[in-house]
Amino acid sequence: MNKINIEKLGYNKSFEESFLNAKGMEDGLIPGRISAVHRERYQVITEHGEGWATLKGSIFYSGDQSVTYPTTGDFVAIKHNPSGEDIIYKVLERKSEFSRLDSFNRTKQVVAANFDYILILSSMNEDFNLNRLDRYIVSAWESGAEPLVVLTKSDITDNAEHFIQSVRVNSPGVKIFTVSSITGEGISPLKDYLKKESTLVLLGSSGVGKSSLVNALAGTEVMKVNEIREDDSKGKHTTTHRQLIALDDGTMVIDTPGMRELELWSADSGMEENFQDIESTAKTCRFRDCSHNNEPGCAIRDAIRTGEISETRWNNYQKLKKEAAFARTKEEKSARVQKKLQEKKFGKMLKDHKNNKSIY
């Protein structure tokens, strides 16, 4: 059997350095990439091909809160088992990650890792929502990758320029592509922009056309497509779990289930990037502690009056700013909890070491 060149999956010197640090954990470890997560079982791609893997129990179930659990797109250190499931020993250091707040457990949920672009899809129909786009774009900038807004279904609108201009005004600096997966319009410019052997993450609501776009990028049907009711823009989830798909041209796509709601986990740098106009304008207010309500010399209120900043965009900025502050508090609390657990663990190790010395 021909071995797979894992470098074709995005494995580079940075991951190799992280892997070398993990090699001492066990003899015979090899690098692999997570292509899908199914509860406590993982689909992985290694030099031996695609297979299944489970976590090393003594490492991942030891109660150590600092351990990073694998997600789709992660590179990992694996012990290959030719007669059964491989064993995952360590998640290699990530170059990017897309996170959100798990609304059920109120904890951080990493959706995908190690990608170059986040393609944020929005249909040019009744489902188009600028506030939702803001959330995706803020989270995308925060991830460490470049966000691209892809306006889909250009074949069903006579006014694509309206949607393009709306995004351009609302999110300056973000590149915008209009595509039709049916006619092929806009697919070539999008493919030309993406660098060779890059990893993409596709985000958007159900029925927005993620699976259709994957097929259009691949030039063949690699994903099942469900129809939506265009009269009310409602669709069904085609993708039921996050999965990494390697296309023939070397591009790798992480498709995700449709997310109509996205709660921010960490968003400080993402807010700065997406709302540069508002944050730079706020710095020119007469008073440093301006609340941007009724103070004299408020640059924000002046910009809203002149139409330079829309009231809707300002209101959404304030809403996301509060949510980002809450997310930051959650993140800081989580870090404090982990620090205390590590200190407690270290204290126990010292105590055990002292007791063992006293025996001898």
pLDDT score at 113? 96
pLDDT score at 127? 82
User: What average pLDDT does range 273-300 have in this prediction?
Assistant: 90
Planar angle of CA 182, 231, 128, nearest 5 degrees: 75
Structure tokens that stand for 146 in this block: 């470049």
Would you kindly state where each structural domain of the chain is located, as residue ranges?
6-91, 97-255, 268-335
pLDDT score at 267? 63
Rounded to the nearest integer, the mean pLDDT of the chain is 84
Q: pLDDT digit string (tens) for 242-253?
A: 889 988 888 999
Structure tokens that stand for 310 in this block: 């829309």
Q: pLDDT digit string (tens) for 29-71?
A: 999 999 999 988 999 999 999 999 999 999 998 878 789 999 9
6-91 CATH choice from 2.40.110.10, 2.40.50.140, 2.30.30.230, 3.40.50.720: 2.40.50.140
pLDDT score at 232? 43
Q: Distance between CA 10 and CA 283 in Å, rounded?
A: 41
pLDDT value at 179 more than 90: yes
pLDDT score at 261? 57
pLDDT score at 233? 46
CATH class belonging to 268-335: mainly alpha
Structure tokens that stand for 102 in this block: 């798990």
Q: pLDDT digit string (tens) for 103-157?
A: 556 677 888 999 999 999 999 998 898 888 888 888 888 888 999 999 999 999 9
Fold of 97-255: Rossmann fold (3.40.50)
